[in-house]
Amino acid sequence: MSSYEAYELQVPGEAKSLSLIRMVVTSLAEDAGLPQEEIDKIEVAVDEACTNVLDHAYENYCPHPPVRLMIHSANNEFVIDVEDEGTHFDFEHHKTPKFPEHWWGGHTRGAGIFLIKKCMDNVHYERLPNEHNRLRLIKKIH
What's the fold here for domain 4-140? Heat Shock Protein 90 (3.30.565)
Phi, psi of 117 (to 5 degrees): -65, -35
Contacts of 127 (CB under 8 A, 6+ apart): 88, 133
How far is Cα 113 from Cα 49, in angstroms, rounded to an integer? 8
Question: What pLDDT sits at residue 83?
Answer: 97
Using pLDDT thresholds of 50, 70 and 90, give the confidence band for residue 113: confident
On the question of pLDDT at 18 being above 80, the answer is yes
Instruction: Evaluate if residue 75 carries a pLDDT over 70.
Output: yes
| Max CA separation in the chain (angstroms) | 46
Q: What are phi and psi of 8, to 5 degrees?
A: -115, 135
Q: What residue segments make up the domains of the chain, in order of their start? A: 4-140
Backbone angles phi, psi at 7, to 5 degrees: -95, 140
Quick one: what percent of the chain has pLDDT higher than 90? 73
**Separation of alpha carbons 56 and 125, rounded Å:** 15
User: Counting beta carbons within 10 angstroms of the beta carbon of residue 101, is it exposed (0 to 12), middle (13 to 18) or buried (19 or more)?
Assistant: exposed
Is the pLDDT at 90 greater than 60? The verdict is yes
| Overall pTM > 0.75 | yes
Mean of the per-residue pLDDT values for the chain?
A: 89
Higher pLDDT: 1 or 52? It is 52
Distance of CA 104 to the CA centre of its chain: 26
Rounded average pLDDT over 34-61: 96
